[in-house]
């Protein structure tokens, strides 16, 4: 029996049971029946969470682009693979069929080869949401190059850090990008970043906004003339299952961003299988995920998962507010979108605009709605359900992470029930556990704890690029023989999971993971700043916003505090990007610390969240007196 497409509740339980009782048999069947292999595996799974080392489908060979493109050519050659909707609604939509995608990926792959890119080389992609982004990702995968996409909202410093960390030889970018009514000078950012990146040999530039840019002789070239000349077929590189597919950076609670390494076969199998079931994709559906391919959601559920299923996937270049806040609904109406997957922060921003803009459009094509990236609050859930889904489209609140590669806890529409603010049940093959602070598993229902996963799943990240020890320390050391997610969760009386948020120093702002350390480092670069600490506080659109406590070197008297605030935010924008800017900056006489010198963020978090009534015993602090001062001056 094929378990590829789950259609009702009983079937979910049956298949789930099978997948955890005998994972190897289960995943072998899925892999065998639904994908194209150049050579079959010798062993389905070997794993050791102590090392940690995880290998799926060892011994097999494949190419993920053959699975995502070539194998559809016979049956779906003229079907739209990528439906590109530009920033400007006046510009025509582009329908890229599977046949055209094949040709464009092949040409791009040949260009990469002609520039000396070989299997295993890292290519950094810093492109806006234009077709070249998806095509270049696939072109890398076709020749076995490892892509590392950096979201094109990151600053030059953030970009150069990532390029150097993965030692990329090449950067792909564009002359600029559109973002609503604005344009962004991406090539300028790349030029600045590359001043610190001696390893980059070439930069290929896609033309998008027709702006005047600098082209550095011997390094930079326009992409289009190279594509025009390139041969339109490119044989696949045959890859081993555990060969690296991509590196994608995510924030850690301390230090450098972590380059999560995903490998080929397990990632393909799991993203394809989750896509099919979580979105209940059917042949003529038009699926739209509003994420950017610069994030994991875009990798797994704009590019690989949908294309592996021969789906039509929408790629939207713009923003939800341009030309007005009806743009998402306009696109749903125009293309008869059937599955719509977005983030709670977008839902909250749109809900704020009222329902008139939604009602203007025909949304009757919608069948499934999705949410991802942060907890969805009750109000946003109901607004989404009533106004967008008209109470007939189930909402899949999907919990997962850059590290997990694919969706981990989620309802399966029309099979498992939904419940506002709950990600509900583990997906097939996923074995969650809630742990207490002493490292013991908390069994039973109506409990909460730290969310871990007990058993490997195919798309889990295999390491942190260049730092396996950090991978082990971050994910496999807190709890023995468990993958630790960094999130807290509760399990209700029937066993549904609700994610309660991060339990480490990662803060999720508008669905973006931000580590406190790099932001504090940026603040501390200001010559007047002695030290700083940032925490999250609740925000009605962003979910969390950032609150900075900053101690100046002198008393700060006579200084224009607003100016310092502006300068601090400018530093953050330069070092990381505008997404990490602080909403509030409070100047303090000191920061509360333990006797060993650790900043008590818990106290700062409570004060920033207007919850300073019950701070607990602060008498053991090194400097309890600063707490009152901070409370008195809270913003």
Residue 289 or 428 having the CB closest to ligand PRX: 289
The minimum distance between CB 129 and ligand PRX, in angstroms, equals 16
Residue 65 or 371 having the CB closest to ligand PRX: 371
Q: Mention every residue, 6+ apart, whose C-beta is less than 8 A from residue 566.
A: none
CA max distance for the chain: 76
The minimum distance between CB 376 and ligand PRX, in angstroms, equals 7
Residue 354 or 578 having the CB closest to ligand PRX: 578
Q: Distance (Å, rounded) from C-alpha 100 to C-alpha 322? A: 29
Instruction: Say if CB 117 and CB 143 are below 8 A apart.
Output: yes
Instruction: Count Cβ atoms below 10 Å from residue 32 Cβ, excluding itself.
Output: 12
Q: Which residues bind ligand PRX (CB under 6 A)?
A: 250, 296-297, 371-375, 397-402, 423, 485-487, 499, 502, 508, 513
Residue 197 or 508 having the CB closest to ligand PRX: 508
The CA–CA distances, whole Å, from 91 to 86, 88, 94, 185, 320 equal: 6, 6, 9, 21, 16
Residue 23 or 298 having the CB closest to ligand PRX: 298
The minimum distance between CB 277 and ligand PRX, in angstroms, equals 16
Cβ-closest residue to ligand PRX? 402
Q: Is 514 helix (H, G, I), strand (E, B) or coil?
A: strand
The minimum distance between CB 369 and ligand PRX, in angstroms, equals 13
Residue 243 or 397 having the CB closest to ligand PRX: 397
Instruction: Say if CB 102 and CB 131 are below 8 A apart.
Output: no
Q: Mention every residue, 6+ apart, whose C-beta is less than 8 A from residue 580.
A: 509, 514, 518, 519, 522, 546, 572, 573
The minimum distance between CB 143 and ligand PRX, in angstroms, equals 27
Residue 345 or 401 having the CB closest to ligand PRX: 401
The minimum distance between CB 508 and ligand PRX, in angstroms, equals 5
The minimum distance between CB 383 and ligand PRX, in angstroms, equals 16
Residue 132 or 487 having the CB closest to ligand PRX: 487
The minimum distance between CB 588 and ligand PRX, in angstroms, equals 28
The minimum distance between CB 343 and ligand PRX, in angstroms, equals 8
Looking at the DSSP bridge assignments, the partners of residue 50 are: none
Residue 200 or 395 having the CB closest to ligand PRX: 395
Instruction: Say if CB 394 and CB 341 are below 8 A apart.
Output: no
| Beta strand pairing call for 483-491 and 497-502 | antiparallel
Q: Mention every residue, 6+ apart, whose C-beta is less than 8 A from residue 296.
A: 248, 250, 400, 401, 402, 405
Q: Is 380 helix (H, G, I), strand (E, B) or coil?
A: helix
Q: Is the dihedral of CA 55, 56, 59, 62 positive or negative?
A: negative
Residue 487 or 520 having the CB closest to ligand PRX: 487
Instruction: Say if CB 439 and CB 477 are below 8 A apart.
Output: no
The minimum distance between CB 450 and ligand PRX, in angstroms, equals 12
Measure the CA angle with vertex 265, ends 262 and 269; round to 5°. 105
Q: Distance (Å, rounded) from C-alpha 475 to C-alpha 454? A: 12
The minimum distance between CB 152 and ligand PRX, in angstroms, equals 16
List the structure tokens of 436.
């207490």
Q: Is 600 helix (H, G, I), strand (E, B) or coil?
A: coil
Residue 111 or 580 having the CB closest to ligand PRX: 580
Burial-class residue 438 by CB neighbours within 10 Å (0-12, 13-18, 19+). Answer: exposed
Instruction: Count Cβ atoms below 10 Å from residue 262 Cβ, excluding itself.
Output: 28
The CA–CA distances, whole Å, from 142 to 67, 104, 242, 267, 356 equal: 10, 12, 15, 15, 45
């Amino acid at each position: 029996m094929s378990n590829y497409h789950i259609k009702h509740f009983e079937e979910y339980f049956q298949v789930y049971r099978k997948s955890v009782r005998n994972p190897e048999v289960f995943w072998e069947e899925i892999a065998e029946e639904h994908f194209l292999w150049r050579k079959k595996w010798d062993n389905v799974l070997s794993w050791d969470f102590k090392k940690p080392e995880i290998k799926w489908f060892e011994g097999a060979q494949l190419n993920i682009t053959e699975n995502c493109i070539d194998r559809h050519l016979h049956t779906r050659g003229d079907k739209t693979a990528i439906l590109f909707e530009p920033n400007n609604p006046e510009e025509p939509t582009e329908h890229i069929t599977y046949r055209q995608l094949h040709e464009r990926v092949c040409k791009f792959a040949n260009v990469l080869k002609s520039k000396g890119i070989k299997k295993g080389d890292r290519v950094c992609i810093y492109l806006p949401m234009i077709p070249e982004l998806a095509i270049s990702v696939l072109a890398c995968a076709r020749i076995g190059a490892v892509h590392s996409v950096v979201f094109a909202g990151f600053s030059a410093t953030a970009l150069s850090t990532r390029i150097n960390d993965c030692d990329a030889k090449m950067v792909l970018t564009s002359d600029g990008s559109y973002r609503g009514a604005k344009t962004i000078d991406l090539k300028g950012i790349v030029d600045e970043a590359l001043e610190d990146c001696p390893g980059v040999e070439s930069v290929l530039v896609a033309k998008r906004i027709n702006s005047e840019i600098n082209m550095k002789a011997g390094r930079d070239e326009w992409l289009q003339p190279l594509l025009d000349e390139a041969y339109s077929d490119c044989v696949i590189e045959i890859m081993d299952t555990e060969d690296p597919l991509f590196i994608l950076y995510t924030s850690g609670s301390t230090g450098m961003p972590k380059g999560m390494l995903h490998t080929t076969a397990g990632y393909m199998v799991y993203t394809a299988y989750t896509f099919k079931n979580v979105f209940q994709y059917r042949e003529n559906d038009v699926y739209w995920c509003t994420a950017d391919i610069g994030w994991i959601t875009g990798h797994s559920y704009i590019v690989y998962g949908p294309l592996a299923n021969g789906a039509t996937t929408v790629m939207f270049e713009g923003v939800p507010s341009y030309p007005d806040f009806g743009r998402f609904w306009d696109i749903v109406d125009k293309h008869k979108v059937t599955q719509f997957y977005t983030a709670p922060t977008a839902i909250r921003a749109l809900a704020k605009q009222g329902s008139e803009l939604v009602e203007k459009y025909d949304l009757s094509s919608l069948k499934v709605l999705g949410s991802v990236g942060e907890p969805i609050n009750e109000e946003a859930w109901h607004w989404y359900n009533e106004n967008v889904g008209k109470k007939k489209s189930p909402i899949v609140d999907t919990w997962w992470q850059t590290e997990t590669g694919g969706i981990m806890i989620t309802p399966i529409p029309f099979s498992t029930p939904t419940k506002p603010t709950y990600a509900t049940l583990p997906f097939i093959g996923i074995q969650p556990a809630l742990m207490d602070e002493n490292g013991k598993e908390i069994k039973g229902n109506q409990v909460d704890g730290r969310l871990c996963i007990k058993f490997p799943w195919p798309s889990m990240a295999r390491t942190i690029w260049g730092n396996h020890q950090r991978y082990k320390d971050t994910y496999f050391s807190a709890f023995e023989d468990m993958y630790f997610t960094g999130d807290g969760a509760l399990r209700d009386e029937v066993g549904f999971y609700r994610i309660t948020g991060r339990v480490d120093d990662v803060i999720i702002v508008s669905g973006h993971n931000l580590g406190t350390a790099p932001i504090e480092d940026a603040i501390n670069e200001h010559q007047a700043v002695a030290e700083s600490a940032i925490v999250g506080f609740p925000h009605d659109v962003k979910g969390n916003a950032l609150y900075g406590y900053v101690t100046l070197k002198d008393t700060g008297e006579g200084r224009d505090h607003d100016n310092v605030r502006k300068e601090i935010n400018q530093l953050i924008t330069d070092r990381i990007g505008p997404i990490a800017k602080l909403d509030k900056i409070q100047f303090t006489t000191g920061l509360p610390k333990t006797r060993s010198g650790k900043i008590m963020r818990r106290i700062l978090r409570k004060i920033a969240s207007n919850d300073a009534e019950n701070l607990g015993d602060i008498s053991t602090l090194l400097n309890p007196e600063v707490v009152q001062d901070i409370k008195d001056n809270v913003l």
